[in-house]
Amino acid sequence: MVELKKLLKSSLRAFNEMLRRRTPEARTEGARKAHPAMVPIRSLGARHRKRIEEHLLSLEPQDRYLRFGYAANDEQISRYVEQMNFERDEIFGIYNRKLELIAMAHLAFLASASYESWGEFGVSVLSKARGRGYGARLFDRAVIHARNHGVSLLLIHALSENSAMLKIARKAGATIERDGSESEALLRLPPATMDSFMTEMMEEQLALNDYRIKVQLKRFWNFLTGVQEIRQGVRDARKKTGM
């Protein structure tokens, strides 16, 4: 319990520092989106490949269709996860208190023949976690990371019927071109600033501490559940023996 308090204090300090360093314009924008801004988003690495696969396999058929642009089956999803390049790309995730990956974004860095650096964004959110702004929050997180790594153009390739994704892109100022059943959104990113570097660093620290707290809480509740099961077993045994 002492460890939990330390982690919580560390998270709050990191978050307060992030708010203090942000520009007045950014703080105003954050005030308008207070709830989404508080969502801890963690970078995922190769060791999280299994959880990423579980998340994508948990998507409903329509969500798979919108995410991949086709009705991806389990084998195709597993192959997609297996081929993820964690050395090149960046994967972001949102966990719930049960440590279930409920939302995920894939920021792929693309090779370009021009002098400009490109990135492609894709996102998925479990149906039970929709309506909380997670897709938009993951997009904001990806934009910050892309800027800090020299990406000047962000590409979003989506089905034209994926109104939620296109709405996020349009709200960010992306130029959207529709070609029948498919649409392409292109967002030009501003260069990195000290504020963007500090924001990403603080958000990553907040997410890391949040995850540690959730791990500790899960262990604590698992312990309590085990104790309750033992006590129930003792009571049941006493009833059987007439004690």
Domain ranges of the chain: 1-32+203-243, 33-192
Encoded tokens for 237: 């045994």
Contacts of 76 (CB under 8 A, 6+ apart): 68
Distances (CA, A) of 16 to 9, 13, 22, 40: 11, 5, 10, 14
The answer to whether 143 and 114 are in contact (CB under 8 A) is: no
Instruction: Give yes or no for a contact between 85 and 71, defined as CB atoms under 8 angstroms apart.
Output: no
List the structure tokens of 227. 């104790």
What is the CATH code of the structural domain delimited by 33-192?
A: 3.40.630.30
Gyration radius of the chain's alpha carbons: 21
* 10-residue mean pLDDT series, the chain (243 residues): 51 51 41 53 93 96 94 96 94 91 94 71 94 94 94 92 93 92 93 91 81 69 60 56 59
Positive/negative CA dihedral, 34, 133, 171, 188:
positive
> Which pLDDT score is estimated for 30?
41
